Copies of this chain bind each other. A is one copy, B any other.
Amino acid sequence: MSMNSGGAGIRETNEEFVREAQRLVPHLYEAKVYPQQVVEAVRDEQAFQGWRTQHAEDIDSWKERSYGKDDSFILDFGDHHVGYLTLGLKSVGSPQDAPLRLKLIFGEMPCEVAESFDTYDGWLSRAWLQEEIVNVDVLPAVLKLPRRYCFRYLKIVVVDTSRKYTVAFTDIHCTTVTSGDVTRIPPLPEGTAEAWTTMDRIGIKTLQDCMQTVFEDGPKRDRRLWIGDLRLQALANYVTFGNNDLVKRCLYMFGGMTLNGGKVGACVFETPQPLVDDTLLYDYSLFFVATLYDYYNATKDRRALEELWPVAWRQIETALERLDERSVVRDDPSWWCFVDWHPDLNKQAPAQAVLIYAIRRGLALARELGLAEQAAVLERKLEEVTTAAKTLLWDEEKGFFVSGADRQVSWASQIWMVLADVLTAEENAALLDRLFAESPDIRIRTPYMYHHLVEALFLCGKKEQAIEQLRLYWGGMVKAGADTFFEVYQPEDELLSPYGSHLINSYCHAWSCTPTYFIRTYIAQG
């Protein structure tokens, strides 16, 4: 996720928590990967985003050639990778009498190596587009580019050599990095349908490439720890890599660096030193409670629970401050709660639901810790906000939860209210049926929100519908050729971007990795 507002003031740091987080910096597993073929990008209206790659030359053709001014070629590394590029270079012909100037373009998707970055006009920094200009004074040379890239395709453009020499590539490889240990992933039960093994593999690869020294949201762009992504990555992690210390590290990062009276920020930076971003989001702060709850259930790490509980408690406390006198979350025209990338989505009802969702988990943790007093407070508050939701945010006539002054009916509101268990099981199931039947216009825009839809369907026992959604949505990405699941995917608008350009979208994005969680939790239970 990338955000453009927020606005926070005072940062508070719990040095011990930050030290604990830093103690947990994970080992990065490295592997060398090599280009698999030389391809060309071809316009194809049938292909995802209008581009496909096709085999152009034998694997090693680039090793046998030399290249001069304006020559270029595209290497396909065969899968999505995150890592460091090494180029072995030598001159051919007369001695190198001028520097070599190369342009290197790294693409997760064919569009990135097919279209020009120079036309980019989105509102996120152009610096995220992975393009380097490199000048090399002395050949032969081994270039180890210091920055990390995220790509399947590498386009190499020889901007110039000279009339007296050309350049040959003696080596091109990528040293991949991840904190996910693939040897720890339990195999799926034998006989699992190929559609699920494929989707599981892609989900795991998505998670793996986002697993670095934190759970990054996207290894191409942002490359930071967002709590909304963390929550879903952690769920996928528990059933795959099981790198629970990485979840712990992230919880201590968020818990150790807060804003404006103990609020958990939406995002933290690792460099140059740990720092909480100035972005505060209502739902994201509350997800600290949910993520801690999930972590404890997965690990029974009592000490972490005891240490981090006050942070979780504080999120509920400050979230409750936003309630009006009717116990309804106060709406806000500004950007204060995420829920989904939808410009028209009203956040009030989903925010109320996330609050309920968090209180339920907080209550369970308080009971686990034997904190009777806090548990009693949470029970009472749970009753209040749930009642308010059922009375003030429920439109009996429409049969839907409504949000904001304009009483907006959105998919997100219904889904979150189901997840918050506001209604009975039967009512929840009926609400979801009605949602599909009436299909209100304020739809789902991201894999992140799709995750919650699928989770809601599974939780209501609607396994077939949940599977259908997985097949339609993530299956659509598989058909589109995804090596990893995308940040943004809208089948009817393949160029959709919340940032003004599909070139800057992240095509390996944390919040899209959860098919492996669904498959391993609800589907392929050997």
A interface residues with partner B (beta carbon < 8 Å): 2, 4, 6, 69, 94-101, 123-128, 131-133, 135, 137-140, 147, 159-164, 222, 224, 269, 271-272, 275, 277-278
Contact = CB atoms under 8 A, between A and B. Distances in A.
Nearest to A164: B4
A271 B137 CA distance: 9
Contacts of A4: 163-164
What are the 6 A-B residue pairs with the smallest beta carbon separation, nearest first?
A98-B125, A101-B127, A133-B133, A99-B127, A125-B162, A126-B160
29 contacts: A2-B98, A4-B163, A4-B164, A69-B125, A69-B126, A95-B277, A97-B224, A97-B269, A97-B277, A98-B125, A98-B128, A99-B125, A100-B127, A101-B125, A101-B126, A123-B163, A125-B161, A125-B162, A125-B163, A126-B159, A126-B160, A127-B135, A127-B159, A127-B160, A131-B133, A132-B133, A137-B147, A138-B271, A138-B272
Contacts of A69: 125-126
Counting chain B CB atoms within 10 Å of each CB, the highest count among A2, A69, A94 belongs to: A94
Nearest to A224: B97
Contacts of A132: 133, 135
Contacts of A98: 2, 124-125, 127-128
A172 to B, nearest CB: 20
Contacts of A2: 97-98
Contacts of A131: 133
A378 B396 CA distance: 116
A289 B325 CA distance: 100
A367 to B, nearest CB: 37
A135 B147 contact: yes
Nearest to A134: B133
Contacts of A224: 97
Given A4-B164, A133-B133, A94 B127 contact: no
B94 A277 contact: yes
Given A4-B164, A127-B101, A159-B126, A275 B95 contact: yes
Given A132-B135, A135-B132, A272-B140, A97 B222 contact: yes
B99 A162 contact: no
A202 to B, nearest CB: 27
Given A132-B133, A139-B272, A278 B127 contact: no
Given A98-B128, A123-B163, A125-B163, 12 more contacts: A2-B98, A4-B164, A94-B278, A95-B278, A97-B224, A98-B125, A101-B126, A124-B162, A127-B160, A127-B161, A137-B271, A140-B272
